[in-house]
């Protein structure tokens, strides 16, 4: 989607009946277009920016609705252009009627086009634009806080700091390259290596935040795995505190996976109740089991659930699919075992719980959250939250590593300067200083039309 300076409009509130609906218009003709259907004591163009006025919308002289119109004058608006927002009664018929009137003189906005215009008009950098989408989709307190901190510029500020540092080193190298024939040597190579190593360490720390950042944004994927009838669905329901999964004493009840999203201490957890991992001749159940395998491979944590029988064959099968560090062994139906039996499983690392008695579930929840907790200070300092950002930082790390190698091997300053330029380019992609149209399309296509 290329930037265009035509005037766009769209409904910015969800579909359905509500107290109000908001229609947003952005572009050079925003005020003119709205004024053509809006009647009030004050002309929109004469109204101060960010001031709301009361009036009526008419269609060929017929009253459509009484509305509140708020005008935001360029460049002091969300998009950086003239923006007008119409707040009407939240009736889909009224909202669509007003939009139809506007579309006689405007174009319907594409997905995320308002935010893309904000980015292209330097109102937001690309990390902040991504944060807008994350805020719209945040389902828990922590995911909302993560998006809010990024929108406020936490990651942007960190990237700009690293870019400024790289620019300083590049300037020193370029200056020395320009005066190389005169034998001038202004760069302390050892000091530069030390500084680049410090920067490299900081970037590696930033790269490590990507794992937690993606989990905050997308949720911790947790699969419940085990032989049929060990109580996977019971534990699943205990997490949800509902009867979402069907629980019966018959093996193989869950033929397909069930997914639900819950919040644990503000963190989003995506729970998958999978079909039992067993061999079966039932063709429908085979499909469910194959789906289970695919989900398990992509899960961050796997609860391997038993009910007293260790099921070593099942565990070995699971261990071939995922790393052992992702597996959390769980003993369900602990209320049916003796203290001696429970002690034996505890020594082997099992978390003892009973879905019926609700025992041990809190320990299970704490274990799930142990590796993903992020402090508010860490969020404030800036973390990576998606593959695009993580990939770019890793490319920057590779380029700086090459730059250090070229200095150590005395390959020539031209090699070092080139590598540092590549490192800068990688970081510039993160904030959108340089980026491709394909990347922009991919980012903004996930937005709703009114944003």
The residue count of the chain comes to 451
Per-residue pLDDT averaged across 13-38, rounded?
A: 95
User: Residue 420: what pLDDT?
Assistant: 96
- Residue 2 or 320, more confident: 320
pLDDT class of 228 with cuts at 50, 70, 90: confident
Per-residue pLDDT averaged across 264-284, rounded?
A: 76
Q: Are residues 233 and 354 in the same domain?
A: yes
Domain presence at residue 220: no
- Angstrom CA distances, 132 to 159, 216, 446, 451, stand at 18, 15, 11, 9
Domain presence at residue 363: no
User: What pLDDT digit, counting tens, does each position of 163-177 carry?
Assistant: 999 999 998 888 888
pLDDT class of 215 with cuts at 50, 70, 90: very high
State the DSSP string of 42-67.
S-GGGSPTTEEEEEEEEETTEEEEEE
∠14-17-19 over CA atoms, to 5°?
90
Domain presence at residue 253: yes
Buried b (16+ CB within 10 A) or exposed e, 172-188: bbeeeeeeeeeeeeebe
Q: Are residues 84 and 143 in the same domain?
A: no
Per-residue pLDDT averaged across 44-56, rounded?
A: 94
Q: Are residues 231 and 353 in the same domain?
A: yes
Q: Are residues 349 and 390 in the same domain?
A: no
Q: What percent of the chain has pLDDT over 90?
A: 56
- Residue 423 or 363, more confident: 423
User: Residue 186: what pLDDT?
Assistant: 63
User: Residue 280: what pLDDT?
Assistant: 60
Q: Are residues 248 and 337 in the same domain?
A: yes
**C-beta of residue 254 within 8 angstroms of C-beta of residue 274:** yes
418 membership: H or E segment, kind and range: helix 413-431
Q: What percent of the chain has pLDDT over 70?
A: 90
User: Residue 181: what pLDDT?
Assistant: 58
Q: Is the peptide bond before 38 cis (omega within 30 degrees of 0)?
A: no
Per-residue pLDDT averaged across 206-224, rounded?
A: 93
Asked if residue 148 has pLDDT above 70, the reply is: yes
- Residue 406 or 253, more confident: 406
Asked if residue 184 has pLDDT above 70, the reply is: no
| Residue 325 DSSP label | G
Domain presence at residue 170: yes
Q: Are residues 117 and 192 in the same domain?
A: no
| CATH code of residue 180 | 1.20.120.430
User: What pLDDT digit, counting tens, does each position of 87-126 carry?
Assistant: 999 999 999 999 999 999 999 999 999 999 999 999 999 9
- From 124, 146, 179, give the residue that closes a domain: 124
Closest CA to 328 of 358, 291, 265, 371: 371
Report the C-alpha gap between 409 and 195 in whole angstroms. Answer: 17
Asked if residue 276 has pLDDT above 70, the reply is: no
∠276-362-379 over CA atoms, to 5°?
100
User: What pLDDT digit, counting tens, does each position of 372-424 carry?
Assistant: 888 888 899 999 999 999 999 999 999 999 999 999 998 888 999 999 999 99
| Residue 139 DSSP label | -
Asked if residue 319 has pLDDT above 70, the reply is: yes
Asked if residue 440 has pLDDT above 80, the reply is: no
Query: For the CA atoms of the chain, what is the radius of gyration?
Result: 29
Domain presence at residue 243: yes
Q: What are phi and psi of 80, to 5 degrees?
A: 85, -5
Per-residue pLDDT averaged across 22-27, rounded?
A: 97
Q: Which residue has the tokens 């509500």?
A: 18
Per-residue pLDDT averaged across 233-240, rounded?
A: 84
pLDDT class of 179 with cuts at 50, 70, 90: low
- Residue 210 or 233, more confident: 210
| Residue 382 DSSP label | -
Q: Are residues 89 and 202 in the same domain?
A: no
pLDDT class of 441 with cuts at 50, 70, 90: confident
pLDDT class of 135 with cuts at 50, 70, 90: very high
User: Residue 230: what pLDDT?
Assistant: 85
Among 40-49, 147-156, 384-393, 439-448, whose mean pLDDT is lowest? 439-448
User: Residue 182: what pLDDT?
Assistant: 57
Q: Are residues 354 and 402 in the same domain?
A: no
- CB-count burial class (<10 Å; 0-12, 13-18, 19+) for 247: middle
Report the C-alpha gap between 86 and 68 in whole angstroms. Answer: 6
Q: Are residues 20 and 86 in the same domain?
A: yes
Q: Are residues 303 and 185 in the same domain?
A: no
Q: What's the domain range around 34?
A: 8-124
- From 297, 323, 358, give the residue that closes a domain: 358
Q: Are residues 27 and 113 in the same domain?
A: yes
Asked if residue 42 has pLDDT above 50, the reply is: yes
Closest CA to 233 of 223, 243, 245, 222: 245
Asked if residue 283 has pLDDT above 80, the reply is: no
pLDDT class of 279 with cuts at 50, 70, 90: low
Report the C-alpha gap between 449 and 451 in whole angstroms. Answer: 6
| CATH code of residue 314 | 3.40.50.300
User: Residue 397: what pLDDT?
Assistant: 98
Q: Which residues pair with 9 in a beta bridge?
A: 25, 108
**C-beta of residue 334 within 8 angstroms of C-beta of residue 254:** no
Q: Which residues pair with 224 in a beta bridge?
A: 273, 303
Q: How many domains does the chain have?
A: 3
- Residue 361 or 193, more confident: 193
Domain presence at residue 369: no
| Residue 275 DSSP label | P
**C-beta of residue 390 within 8 angstroms of C-beta of residue 207:** yes
- Angstrom CA distances, 432 to 1, 45, 151, 419, 435, stand at 15, 33, 14, 20, 5
Strand duo 18-26 + 258-264: pairing: unpaired
- Residue 449 or 294, more confident: 294
| CATH code of residue 41 | 3.30.1360.120
pTM of the complete model:
0.83
Domain presence at residue 449: no
∠298-304-305 over CA atoms, to 5°?
140
- Angstrom CA distances, 375 to 75, 270, 382, stand at 36, 21, 11
- From 124, 153, 185, give the residue that closes a domain: 124
pLDDT class of 4 with cuts at 50, 70, 90: low
Query: And the tokens for 180?
Result: 């190389």
257 membership: H or E segment, kind and range: none
Among 112-121, 145-154, 252-261, 411-420, whose mean pLDDT is lowest? 252-261
Query: And the tokens for 319?
Result: 């261990």
Domain presence at residue 370: no
Q: Are residues 337 and 231 in the same domain?
A: yes
Q: Residues with Cβ < 8 Å from 104, sequence gap 6 or more?
A: none
Asked if residue 23 has pLDDT above 90, the reply is: yes
Report the C-alpha gap between 232 and 346 in whole angstroms. Answer: 19
Q: Residues with Cβ < 8 Å from 202, sequence gap 6 or more?
A: 162
Report the C-alpha gap between 434 and 444 in whole angstroms. Answer: 16
Report the C-alpha gap between 114 and 26 in whole angstroms. Answer: 8
User: Residue 252: what pLDDT?
Assistant: 43
pLDDT class of 443 with cuts at 50, 70, 90: confident
- CB-count burial class (<10 Å; 0-12, 13-18, 19+) for 149: buried
Q: Which residues pair with 18 in a beta bridge?
A: 90
Asked if residue 246 has pLDDT above 50, the reply is: no
Query: And the tokens for 101?
Result: 């009137």
């Amino acid at each position: 989607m290329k930037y265009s300076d035509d005037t766009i409009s769209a409904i910015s509130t969800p579909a359905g009946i509500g107290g109000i609906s908001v229609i947003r218009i952005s572009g050079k003709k925003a005020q003119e277009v709205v004024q053509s259907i809006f009647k009030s004591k004050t002309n929109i163009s004469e109204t101060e920016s960010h001031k709301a006025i009361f009036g009526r919308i008419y269609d060929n002289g017929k009253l459509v609705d009484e509305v509140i119109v708020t005008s935001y004058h360029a460049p002091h608006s969300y998009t950086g252009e003239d923006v007008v927002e119409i707040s009407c009664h939240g009736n889909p018929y009224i909202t669509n009627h007003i939009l139809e009137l506007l579309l006689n003189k405007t174009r319907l906005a594409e997905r995320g086009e308002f935010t893309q215009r904000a980015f292209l008009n330097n109102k937001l950098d690309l990390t902040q634009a991504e944060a807008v989408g994350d805020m719209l989709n945040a389902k828990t307190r922590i995911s909302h806080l993560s998006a809010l901190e990024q929108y406020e510029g936490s990651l942007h500020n960190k990237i700009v700091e690293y870019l400024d540092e790289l620019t300083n080193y590049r300037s020193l190298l370029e200056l020395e390259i320009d005066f190389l024939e005169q034998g001038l040597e202004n760069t302390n190579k050892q000091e530069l290596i030390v500084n680049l190593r410090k920067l490299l360490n900081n970037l590696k720390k930033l790269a490590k935040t990507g794992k937690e950042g993606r989990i905050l944004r997308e949720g911790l994927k947790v699969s419940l795995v085990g032989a049929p009838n060990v109580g996977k669905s019971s534990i699943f329901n205990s997490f949800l505190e509902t009867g979402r999964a069907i629980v019966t004493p018959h093996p193989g009840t869950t033929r397909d996976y069930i997914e639900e999203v819950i919040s644990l201490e503000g963190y989003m957890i995506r729970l998958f109740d999978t079909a039992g991992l067993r061999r079966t001749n039932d063709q429908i159940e085979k499909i469910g089991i194959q789906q289970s395998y695919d989900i398990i491979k992509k899960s961050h944590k796997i609860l391997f659930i038993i009910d007293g029988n260790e099921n070593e064959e099942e565990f070995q099968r699971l261990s071939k699919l995922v790393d052992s560090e992702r597996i959390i062994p769980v003993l369900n139906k602990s209320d049916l075992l003796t203290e001696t039996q429970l002690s034996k499983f505890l020594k082997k690392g099992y978390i003892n719980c009973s879905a019926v008695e609700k025992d041990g579930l809190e320990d299970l929840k704490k274990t799930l959250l142990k590796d993903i907790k992020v402090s508010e200070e860490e969020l404030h300092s800036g973390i990576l939250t998606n593959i695009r950002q993580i990939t770019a930082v890793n490319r920057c790390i590779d380029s700086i590593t090459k730059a250090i190698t070229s200095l150590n091997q005395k390959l020539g300053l031209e090699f070092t300067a080139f590598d540092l330029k590549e490192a800068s380019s990688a970081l510039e992609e993160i904030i959108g200083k340089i980026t491709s149209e394909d990347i922009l399309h991919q980012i903004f296509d996930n937005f709703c039309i009114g944003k």
